[in-house]
Chain A
Amino acid sequence: MQTATDTVIYNRAGQRVVSPDYLLFEAPRTKHFMTGSEAVKEAVKRASVDASVSYPITPQSEAAHLIGELWVEGYVGVYFRGESEFGVMSEIAGCALAGARTITTTSGPGTLRAFENFPMWAGTRIPVQLVLMARGVNSPLSIQPDNLEVGFLLDTGCMIWYAENAQDLFDMILAGFVVAEQPDVHVPVITVVDGFFVSHTREAIMLPPDDIALPPYNPYRAPMPVIDAEVPPGRFLRDPFVMKSNYISYATHASWQWEVRSAIERSRPYAKHYLRGLIEEFGDPTAELVFVACGTAAAQAKEAVRLLEEEEGIKARVVKLKTIRPFPIEELRQAVKGARYIFVPEFNVVGWLEREVRRYLYGVSDAEVIGGPRVAGGMTMPAEVIVKEVLKLTGKEVKHVL
């Protein structure tokens, strides 16, 4: 077996350290059958993770407690259960500030409980990875799939990536650490999958061997001082600008917020490399009917493309967005050239992805953007629902019984 490193280095767990490119693209892979949560565990196992903090809200609990098993086995350095998502996201921030590679998970109401922490993560420039298994937000009480919460997260200053399936999620978690920890990026990454549809469903997934792992995180490459008393502290003696009511204090805060957004922009070339592009295109590239989607909605749209072609003779294609922050602006604009109709199928009632798509295509594309179909609150989105939405537009009779 070849590695990208000349000398053999081992991480604390005794795994051979290989380059991210080797782990992601070159290492031989074998086929396994597992849930999305188990895929999280397999990714963490190969990611030289230093610390993880957990909280048992469903459906993230399986992933979070599986990371606990890795801690027992020595693959994760620090692991414990926190008191709430607010506490957990603060504890994981402490871990990251002290120089650890960190990962945690949450979903739905837990995301909202934790919310105050996300802009704080971004503002302190810690590359925490949050695996978000999207589900409904209360009330009424729901534990079902729904990605409304992702719409809330868009402007927290965190990168947001969206995995379609367990395979995507596995690869994205590994790539997420690599991209988020680049010194010129160094902001948190939220890797999203749809709860239950991916987290609780078993599917085939190709995994590299588990005796190799990502290079360990080097906190001393961080753009901010590590809080470990091993490096000089960031020091603002005399007249510190923090918390002062004067213009330079406001300007400092404002420019720092711009800097966090700029850091996300600077992640583009890295994400493009490690994710093999910020979008994925599926179907006949000449089709005038385009589905722009992410996650499970993209998977179902692909199925709808097949149905439309086979049963209705309509050509369609899918543009799957892998990153939402940064938003693949140029990629999307290129991909929808020649499109007449753009459907944005989504798992929420508000259509946050439709808003994003409209925003970035405004004045650029002549295509008609149609925000739908939308399902929410735990509803599934059978391909037939998407087909029906298209047929309504073309005036064709709907043959499928739903």
Chain B
Amino acid sequence: MSFKIYEINEELLDVMPQEIRDLQFKATWGNPKRGVMDLPYSKELIEEHSLCAGCPESMALRYILASLPNPEDTIIVNSTGCTSLVFPHIALHTVHSLFGNQNAVASGIKRVLEWRFPDKVKDVVVLAGDGATVDIGLDCTLQSFFRQEKITTICFDNEVYANTGGQESGLTVKGHVFKMAPKGKQWDKVPFWQIAIDSGCHYVARLTVSSPKRVETVIKKAIYVAREVGPTYVHLYTPCILEIGLNSDDGLDEMRQRDKERFAFFEYMTPQAEEVINRKKEEGLL
């Protein structure tokens, strides 16, 4: 529809909480050029996140929500994990269904919205952790890529099951000691960005969230390509500072270090995706 669904009945305006009124008057709607630079000046679409102090995942969520080109027509699909603590704080339509079925739910939503609203742009974006995306939800994630679903999948990779207290995941680095890997992980980190390419994603990026502007560009590219071409995948390093023994102000430094090694910025696009990205650049939207 439009940001009109966020407009408050005038009769109730004076009794509504400040943050709800702010959503109507100070959030950025109807402007595809919105981005992380608006953060200090506008109402964010995420309210008082419930993650740990200094959690890089909270940074990622704020940057992503600030970068959505079409928030008034964007559906967010979550999964279980730390991200599921945040979905009730997001002002948009969000769905939490089960642990690991996020790409299946998103597929159904996207297809029906395309059919119900053929003349409208409705973006469907999946936000889930590494356990949800690559372990328990691997089947649903990959199959949605195979089927060329026009959805954007964003994985918050903290290399551990953080919400359950720090167990090894498929994206844990080999040798790292976590719960359930008391001798250290016995096998390599799954290179899921590569698997996403092989599975048919048209735009894939791997990065940390140390640079807000870079996150914005990547998210916008991923959403524009998903809209027109097919599945896109963004792999974000959002370290769990708690589980790797860092302080709440260490997250940024941790990411900057990984920027130089296993999370060095990596981007892949198919020719169709490149065409979309170049066009959006010409339109001044990237």
Interchain Cβ contacts under 8 Å between A and B, 23 examples: A51-B115, A77-B112, A78-B111, A78-B112, A80-B147, A87-B104, A87-B143, A88-B104, A90-B98, A94-B97, A94-B105, A225-B93, A227-B95, A227-B109, A228-B113, A229-B5, A229-B122, A230-B1, A233-B93, A233-B94, A237-B20, A237-B89, A238-B47
Q: In the complex, A80 Cα to B115 Cα: how many Å?
A: 13
The stretch from A26-34, A97-105, A392-400 touching chain B is A97-105
Chain A residues with Cβ below 8 Å from B48 are 237-238
Total interface residues in chain A, CB < 8 Å: 42
**Contact: A97 with B47, CB < 8 Å?**
no
The smallest beta-carbon distance between B77 and chain A, in angstroms, is 8
**Contact: A243 with B85, CB < 8 Å?**
yes
Partner of A243, one of B72, B84, B91, B108: B84
Partner of B111, one of A51, A117, A242: A51
Chain B residues with Cβ below 8 Å from A98 are 75, 108-109, 112-113, 116
Partner of B104, one of A91, A225, A236: A91
B114 closest partner in A (C-beta) = A78
The smallest beta-carbon distance between A392 and chain B, in angstroms, is 48
Which of B73, B88, B94, B98 gathers most chain A CB within 10 Å? B88
The smallest beta-carbon distance between B114 and chain A, in angstroms, is 8
Asked if B198 lies at the interface with its beta carbon under 8 angstroms from chain A, I say no
Chain A residues with Cβ below 8 Å from B77 are 94
**Contact: B97 with A83, CB < 8 Å?**
no
Q: In the complex, A242 Cα to B85 Cα: how many Å?
A: 8
The smallest beta-carbon distance between B140 and chain A, in angstroms, is 5
**Contact: B112 with A100, CB < 8 Å?**
yes
**Which residues 326-384 of A have a CB within 8 angstroms of B?**
none
**Which residues 47-99 of A have a CB within 8 angstroms of B?**
50-51, 53, 77-78, 80, 82-84, 86-88, 90-99
The smallest beta-carbon distance between A227 and chain B, in angstroms, is 5
Which of B6, B72, B110, B113 gathers most chain A CB within 10 Å? B113
Top 8 nearest A-B pairs (CB, nearest first) are A94-B108, A240-B88, A90-B104, A90-B101, A98-B112, A83-B143, A95-B108, A94-B105
Asked if B74 lies at the interface with its beta carbon under 8 angstroms from chain A, I say yes
**Contact: A231 with B5, CB < 8 Å?**
yes
Q: In the complex, A71 Cα to B95 Cα: how many Å?
A: 27
Q: In the complex, A90 Cα to B111 Cα: how many Å?
A: 13
Q: In the complex, A116 Cα to B94 Cα: how many Å?
A: 20
The smallest beta-carbon distance between B227 and chain A, in angstroms, is 14
**Contact: A228 with B104, CB < 8 Å?**
no
